[in-house]
Structure 1
Amino acid sequence: MKANNVLLTSALLISVAAFAQKDQLKAVEKAIKKGNMQEVPNLLNQVEPLLSNASDAEKAQYYYLRETVYMDAADKNVDVDNNLSLAVKAAQEVIAIEKKSGKMEYTNEVLKTISKVKDKLINGAIEDSKIEKYKEGAAKLSEAYQLDKKDTLNLYYASSFQLNGKDFDGALVSLQELRRLNFTGKSKSFVATSLISNKEEAFPSKEERDRMVKLKTHSKPRVEVVASKQGEIVKNIALILVQQKNIEEAKKVIVEARTLNPEDTSLAMTEANLYLETKDFVSYKKLVTEILAKKPNDADLLFNLGVVSANAKNKEEAEMYYKKAIEVDPKYMNAYINLVGVKLEAETPLNTEMNKLGTSDKDNKRYEVLKGEKKKIYQGVIPFLVKALEIDPANKDIATTLISVYGALEMSAEKKALKQKMGM
């Protein structure tokens, strides 16, 4: 008999608790309808301890009301990012509960909330980009993608924000996910020119655009095709792997990237640089020959080959490419600057040796030999510095270098004249 009384008492307690939570949830709904939002959080906090004994319908209602509170706060610009995140979590709880129970009372409503949050996140990311807050914008776009994984364009834009914000590790994760998903970003846009504004407008479908053309509100219909972004994605993966010194993996990815972008010489240059880093000079020479065969008179290409060679400490080859770039484009300023830089680097070991010499006759003779070699270096850069200054007469850095060279060669008159001309 006592056992039965205990069971009866437990049943009554559960029944009372159920009534209490129903009353509390009704009170929350009334408060929301009356606009008394400040009362709602406290009322919901009173319901929370009773959730373990609540029915699925009551649990769904609880999380739906929670979502309503968070969205209200976000709409009032209160701790926006946090409240949007909490609203989404509450909405997802509703969806999970109602999917399990099979009763969809609030699902459609919270799906609208998720869509609203997604739009807010995207708009927030756009605003972040305007003030170069790329890290914050990338986080918003990544969250928007998590809310709707069918909309892979948000993941693509998140990777772009991460690249702009120098978050290369994060960008690599996003780009590799895009690659796994076989994302192309390729699309068609149906465009026509408005006869009122005389500006092109895009339409959601060909039928809609053609209808407006028939109504004679628009003219000049055309299809705008957005090219596939696969090549760009693979290229960026390769470049990040190169930066991370993951050379072997980078090589594999670059081969794929070049297949997708056969005309992109920057990719070929990146691959060539990898061959140099791994001392695969045969592959490097072969690739460079192929590149030059396609664009023998491309000054930018020749300049970049000079940079790659200089980075590989191949100074003679670097000089050759810089000179060829100048031959193709006599006003290629950076080629003059880099050429002079490579030539002047040759004095560093000479200075090191000269500083170690003593005062013996043998050392003095060696000092004079080294001094003569330095003089040749300085004489060799003068024509390029003079030409560079002709191209850019106001360039103080070039003028300062030339003045130093004149001084080292004891060309006092030339040094004085240039200083007066430059007002230095």
Structure 2
Amino acid sequence: MMKVKSILLGVLVLTSSAAISQTSNLRKAKASYDKFNEVKSIGNATLGISDLNTAKEALEKAIEHEKTMELAETWTYYALVNADLALVDSTEASEGYIQKAIEAREKAISLDKEKENEQNLSILNSILAQHELNKGVKAWDSQDFETAYSAFDKGLTYLPGDTTLLYYSGLAAVNSQHYDKALAKYVELVPIDSFSNNKQIILDVSRLYLMQGDTTNAIKYAELGANKYPEDGELATQNIELNLMAGNEDKIITTITEQVAKEPDNKNLHYYLGIAYSETGDLEKAEAAYKKALEIDPNYLDANINLGGLILNKGIDLFNKTNNANLPQAEYDKEIQKAYGIFDSALPYLEKAVEADGSSFLALSNLKKYYEIKEDDAKIKELQARIDALQ
């Protein structure tokens, strides 16, 4: 009986000693990991590798023992240690560490019913996201944008909504021509006013929607950006251009006029105002706007083409109206001369457009139309030859 009791006592003591030993391994791991973090915090994580390895060895013992193998804390620290080893290891072994960290993370989450390790798991997520960020940057530097996108996107599984990862994944998607994926990332950044590149993101979202053929959303985000950043000329221009493309001239005239007041020397704004007035039938204001653009830049091709064409059409309208009216000869002659005077006033702009770009089909065609009206066969043939040469 005494012998049996002695054996039982020995077993109890031995079991108790093993439990203390395994708990000690967890404590040892935590202490070693804390030492590593002290070194890491001063910017030289590689000096703490020995402490990391000590922590790893202790944790490997802890996860094998029944007393500590089902503790969320054990697996949380095992994940943390392996994640940090992956960051400091530049060899192929890094991927092995990261895989262990990911598996341990899942185990820790499943065991942490009371969320006691939530703070450390949050730190773990940051480390895993950093690993993916580093991997993405490396792929980016190698022009492997597909891999870069995958890494940045995976990083977001650990840090959802992280602005750096959203931005980089969007950039990588753009460079790999996955514009739908880029949009998905950038749209998340639009409401984040604190993001330093917020203005550019809104502009890019508008442009990406336009590339996708979605004019409605392109205008939506251009207007949002213009309202959010009223002093930004690029967003204002995007809003104006898209609304003109969509045929919203009536709606956008006030916006253009307000922007002209802010940027009176911006030739493009005067040109856009000319288009808007022309499309709404206010030809006098359109002509004045085009002329203002040409005061700023006399060689402005599009303004010369539009102004020359507008004046030419004004003369044609008067010419046709006069021919269709039953007028006394003297009045008829007077109106026809007036029409020809309008034609001649268009000539400087028509010629300037061809001078600015001799390969412009529209510029050559408009000038040819003038000489057709003037019945100058030599000029008509010359210009037709130049037009034919373009084809």
Tell me which protein shows more strand as a share of its residues. Answer: 1
| TM-score relative to the length of structure 1 | 0.47
Tell me which protein shows more helix as a share of its residues. Answer: 2
| TM-score relative to the length of structure 2 | 0.50
